[in-house]
Amino acid sequence: MHLYFDESGDYAFPAERFDAYVQAALICPDSLLAELEKFVVTRREAWDVAELHATELAPEQLVEIATFIGRSDMQLLAGVTDSVLVTREGIAKYRLKQVATTRRNLDWYRRESTKGRAAPDQRSGTAICSGFVCDALTRAGYIWPRPPISMMPADLARYFDVRTEPSTPAD
């Protein structure tokens, strides 16, 4: 299964004019990947474009893309919003709610992940992608030297013996 994500615009929500935004995800089964790639390559060549951006395509080209997806077993999911439905004030409130939820979840994780292991209680910090990756790999059986959420990119590099310079084979 392959997932392709894209969004339109810059999500700036200008106060002086109306603007609309779309986030889309195309879900493509492995069995259709070659067909999708061929479709994209041939359309890019035929239409002389670097990417299939809706704003750069004619209405009939958009219909051709929609028809291709609609006749396949791929699924297209889209979320649409605009600068009337979502205001800057609404965004600010939502982001504050996200921060509070993230903090609550990290506090819970910090408490629950240290139970029964005598691990140090991490009092504060920022979760970054490497921590989330380690958390996911824990479910696959990896064991880390400290709580997964506190692992840094350098920790992962050491753990998996990643070298900064590519090694060259001996002659």
Please choose, from the candidates 138, 168, 139, the residue with its C-alpha nearest in 3D space to the C-alpha of residue 150: 138
Convert the pLDDT of each residue in 1-37 to its tens digit: 677 767 776 667 777 878 888 878 888 888 999 999 9
Note whether 56 and 76 are same-domain residues.
Answer: yes
Terminal CA-CA length for the chain: 41
Q: What is the C-alpha to C-alpha distance for residues 87 and 72, in angstroms, rounded to an integer?
A: 36
Note whether 114 and 50 are same-domain residues.
Answer: no
Note whether 73 and 140 are same-domain residues.
Answer: no
pTM to 2 decimal places: 0.48
Is residue 167 included in any domain, yes or no?
A: no
Give the count of domains, the chain. Answer: 2
Note whether 9 and 61 are same-domain residues.
Answer: yes
Q: What is the C-alpha to C-alpha distance for residues 141 and 131, in angstroms, rounded to an integer?
A: 15
Convert the pLDDT of each residue in 98-139 to its tens digit: 888 888 887 787 777 666 555 444 444 445 677 777 777 877
Segment among 45-59, 66-80, 154-168 with least mean pLDDT: 154-168
Q: Which domain holds residue 123?
A: 89-159
Note whether 33 and 107 are same-domain residues.
Answer: no
